[in-house]
Amino acid sequence: MSRPLRDRDVFPSDVDENWLAKGPKTFETLDEGRYRYTIEQAGIVIDVDRLRREHGELIGELTVRCEIAGSRIRENGTTADFNFSSLQARQTRAKYLRERARTKDEELDWNTVLEDFIQRVHAAERAGQPAVVLRELEPADREDDLVIDGFPLMRRHPTIWFADGGTSKSFLALYVGGLLHAHGTRTLYADWEFDGRDHRTRLGQLFGAEMPDIKYVRCDKPLVDECDRLQRIIREEHIGFIIIDSIAVACGGAPESAELANRFMLALRRFRIGSLLIAHVNRSETGDQKPFGSTYWSNNARSTWFIQRSDEASDEHRVVATMFHRKVNIGCKRNPIGYEIAFEGNRAHVNRIDPSVVPGAAERMTIAQRIRAAVKSGRRPVAELAQELGIDAESIRTTVKRNKQFTYLMDASGVFHIGNAERGR
């Protein structure tokens, strides 16, 4: 075709000599790599799913249903892989469909029907997504972002949490996923590292008898190979958010590979939903700035958080950690988030805590973040803050004057105080 196909094209039959093929046909784009072709009068529906390129040839999972009386491909139809680039495959499949549908050539020419569908699939794949006028698109709404029990996520983009072992990042991810699902966003936990029974135990610890119906799937192959299966689950279960644990295994090779990182992210983008990706840290001095592996993990994520466990405050019954926002492409960086997981018998309780009181967290916080925590209960003299925070007074004054979240006022005795502008004090 000379023009890009719409999501649904309706066109007259080109096969006048076959009475079953007369009347309108439809060709629909159902999703990326999914198309449907319908001949209403003949009760024929041809679907292709899992369309991909293999060695330069276009391969897909072809399903054909035919409701003509006597047909043996009614209801569930017949499904098998099909090579859209092979002439021999077309002839072989047309002959098979003719036999299974029990139709005569003068009634329905399966060669012509199948060829018409194949050409439209090729045209749709070549056309791809058409260009659009950017100003005519609906702008992104920041209210689309998700904040679950104080933990911010993105509804349409990937977020990465990266940390060393022992920070309970997978445990916390399951907690956030359960809350997402309980609040109406159906969530899928795709696991490359653990086991479903272990996650079931954790879910019971977190939610008790009120466990949400979060979906779980065990994965053994790289995401690019699991993509079709996961995409189908997402579609059939109406999933709105996916958790991937972890990208070090799901990438299918060395996380340092730029090619693998980019292939992973391209596969993830096919889901068209928000995602939380669990990652690890590297051992360099800047390991708290980006996840382990290629810089493209950080570059392709829209938001990244580093998680640091406090060994001073944690023990066998309690995990205390702080999350630091390292990167964001949409909006501004958020303040650190402190949390505690307390284990009591068969239950685990997740609580938000003030990150400024977590041992070892202050040294990773900016001056503005430390000041904000110090003045949350009211105005404080500059000299007092300087002594408490171990920061010289001039650095505090410079930071406050550049930041609209603070007030900088002098009292009647000539002493300058710093307060929280949002609270007006």
> Does residue 186 fall inside a structural domain?
yes
Report which residue type is found at 98: R
Examine the fold and report which residue of 127, 158, 193 is the final residue of a domain before the chain moves on. 127
Q: 16 and 86 share a domain?
A: yes
More confident residue, 373 or 298: 298
Least confident of 81-90, 157-166, 369-378: 369-378
Q: Are strands 274-279 and 158-163 parallel, antiparallel or unpaired?
A: parallel
Q: What is the mean pLDDT of residues 302-331?
A: 87
> Does residue 340 fall inside a structural domain?
no
Q: 295 and 167 share a domain?
A: yes
Q: Are strands 241-245 and 274-279 parallel, antiparallel or unpaired?
A: parallel
Residues 385-421 pLDDT 10s: 778 777 888 888 888 877 777 887 777 787 777 887 7
pLDDT at 5 over 50: no
Give 144's contacts (C-beta < 8 A, 6+ positions apart): 154, 155, 156
pLDDT at 87: 93
Domain span at residue 285 reads 148-307
> Is the separation of the CB atoms in 171 and 202 below 8 Å?
yes
| pLDDT-above-90 percentage for the chain | 41
Q: 163 and 83 share a domain?
A: no
> Does residue 371 fall inside a structural domain?
yes
Report which residue type is found at 162: F
> Does residue 303 fall inside a structural domain?
yes
* pLDDT class of 425 with cuts at 50, 70, 90: low
Examine the fold and report which residue of 127, 162, 191 is the final residue of a domain before the chain moves on. 127
pLDDT at 14: 53
Tokens at residue 105, please?
Answer: 């050539």
Residues 337-369 pLDDT 10s: 889 999 998 999 999 988 877 877 666 777 777
Q: 197 and 118 share a domain?
A: no
Least confident of 262-266, 306-310, 398-402, 420-424: 420-424
Please report, for the domain that includes residue 284, its CATH number: 3.40.50.300
* pLDDT class of 75 with cuts at 50, 70, 90: confident
Task: Lay out the sheet containing 34-39: strands in order across.
Answer: 8-11, 25-31, 34-39, 44-54, 57-66, 78-83
Sign of CA dihedral 111, 115, 116, 117: positive
pTM of the model: 0.73
Q: 186 and 81 share a domain?
A: no
CA atoms within a 13 Å half-sphere pointing along the CA-CB vector of 267: 24
More confident residue, 330 or 350: 350
3-state secondary structure 78-100: EEEEEECCCHHHHHHHHHHHHHH
pLDDT at 2: 37
pLDDT at 133: 84
pLDDT at 71 over 90: no
More confident residue, 184 or 406: 184
> Does residue 325 fall inside a structural domain?
no
> Does residue 137 fall inside a structural domain?
no
Q: What is the mean pLDDT of residues 259-269?
A: 92
* Total structural domains within the chain: 3
Report which residue type is found at 367: I
Q: What is the mean pLDDT of residues 207-220?
A: 93
Q: 87 and 156 share a domain?
A: no
Least confident of 120-134, 300-314, 326-340, 367-381: 367-381
Least confident of 16-25, 97-106, 175-184, 234-243: 16-25
> Does residue 48 fall inside a structural domain?
yes
SS3 at position 192: coil
> Does residue 82 fall inside a structural domain?
yes
Please report, for the domain that includes residue 393, its CATH number: 1.10.10.10
Q: 78 and 163 share a domain?
A: no
Examine the fold and report which residue of 265, 290, 307 is the final residue of a domain before the chain moves on. 307
pLDDT at 11 over 70: no
> Is the separation of the CB atoms in 103 and 15 below 8 Å?
no
The H or E element spanning position 169 is helix 169-182
pLDDT at 49 over 90: no
Distance CA 382, CA 283 (A): 38
Helix axes 87-101, 110-127, angle to 10 degrees: 130
DSSP for 35-65?
Answer: EEEEETTTTEEEEEEEEEEETTEEEEEEEEE
Residues 83-115 pLDDT 10s: 999 999 999 999 999 999 888 877 788 998 999
pLDDT at 15 over 50: no
104, 43, 103: which is closest to 74 by C-alpha?
A: 43
Q: What is the mean pLDDT of residues 296-319?
A: 88
Q: 121 and 215 share a domain?
A: no
Q: 167 and 276 share a domain?
A: yes
Q: 88 and 158 share a domain?
A: no
Q: 198 and 79 share a domain?
A: no
Q: 122 and 165 share a domain?
A: no
